[in-house]
Amino acid sequence: MFRNALFASAATAFLVACASPEPLPYSGIASVALMEPQTGATAAGAARLSYRAGPDVLAGRRGIRLEPIEIYRGADRQFADLSEAEVNRLASVAASTFRDALAERGLLVVDRASDTARLRVTLTGAHASVPGLGAVTRLTPAGFALNGVKTVGGIEGAFTGSVEYVVEIRDGASDRLLVAQIVKSFPSALDVPASLGRLAAAEVGLKRGAEALAGDLLRETRRGATP
């Protein structure tokens, strides 16, 4: 009976999770007022709101300076039942993950020169995975099939956590806002290891988001460069 109830609960959660909500705006971050919805899935499997000052605002930039990761303290933050220690852990993971992603692409710099940009990442929310149920819904045939559909559609898996953050990119010298985004990132719906720990999915989401952003920045900063 317990087994049947468990699968019934999992099936219900699958149906609910099929509609992955847009990230919530965060009223305490000024750049959010400039953002508009951006449709379509991203490389990080995330829905986004975004702002861009112009089409080529990052072209020709020599590199990106990463500021210390911030944790959003507004009343509308979305950290659910995470403890302060868990939120701080995610901030630490974000710091190393975004730094490494930029460094691997030769983008990381430390100066404020006019040909650089600076990146600020503010963690605004995260949801923990439910380890036991998350694994069950991936290891059963029905669960594997349903999560496969979600992977194709860029939808987060059942009982799997996620992370939300705001990206702000500013001119290295003038501090003018160039790009801003609200990002919700999560693992592939078929990623079993990401369902095995409370923060595993959020940490994988940070890695996917950092890799996607760094890849975009590499393409944009090299746009128009002489081969």
CATH of the domain at 117: 3.40.50
Strands (E), 3-138: 36-38, 48-52, 63-66, 70-71, 116-127
- What integer pLDDT is reported at residue 125 of this predicted model? 96
Quote the CA–CA distance of 103 and 120 in Å, as a whole number: 16
Quote the CA–CA distance of 34 and 51 in Å, as a whole number: 6
Number of domains in the chain: 1
Please check whether residue 155 lies inside any domain of the structure: yes
Task: Give the residue, 56 or 17, on which the prediction is more confident.
Answer: 56
Quote the CA–CA distance of 220 and 226 in Å, as a whole number: 14
Write down the mean pLDDT value for the chain: 78
Task: Give the residue, 69 or 194, on which the prediction is more confident.
Answer: 69
Contact between 138 and 209 under an 8 Å Cβ cutoff? The reply is no
User: Does the structure show a pLDDT above 80 at 149?
Assistant: no
Please check whether residue 72 lies inside any domain of the structure: yes
The first and second tokens of residue 43, run together, are: 């490389």
Residue 198 burial (CB count, 10 A): 18
Beta bridge pairs of residue 126? 163
Quote the CA–CA distance of 177 and 53 in Å, as a whole number: 7
The first and second tokens of residue 215, run together, are: 């890849």
Please check whether residue 21 lies inside any domain of the structure: no
- What integer pLDDT is reported at residue 8 of this predicted model? 38
Please check whether residue 25 lies inside any domain of the structure: no
Please check whether residue 191 lies inside any domain of the structure: yes
For residue 19, give the H/E element and its range. none
Residue 215 burial (CB count, 10 A): 14
* Domain range for 209: 2-16+31-221
Please check whether residue 152 lies inside any domain of the structure: yes
φ/ψ of 181, rounded to 5, equals -145, 145
Quote the CA–CA distance of 207 and 137 in Å, as a whole number: 23
Task: Give the residue, 18 or 22, on which the prediction is more confident.
Answer: 22
Please check whether residue 23 lies inside any domain of the structure: no
Q: Which one, of 2, 40, 13, 1, lies nearest residue 142 by Cα?
A: 13
Percentage with pLDDT > 70 across the chain:
67
For residue 151, give the H/E element and its range. helix 141-153
Task: Give the residue, 94 or 49, on which the prediction is more confident.
Answer: 94
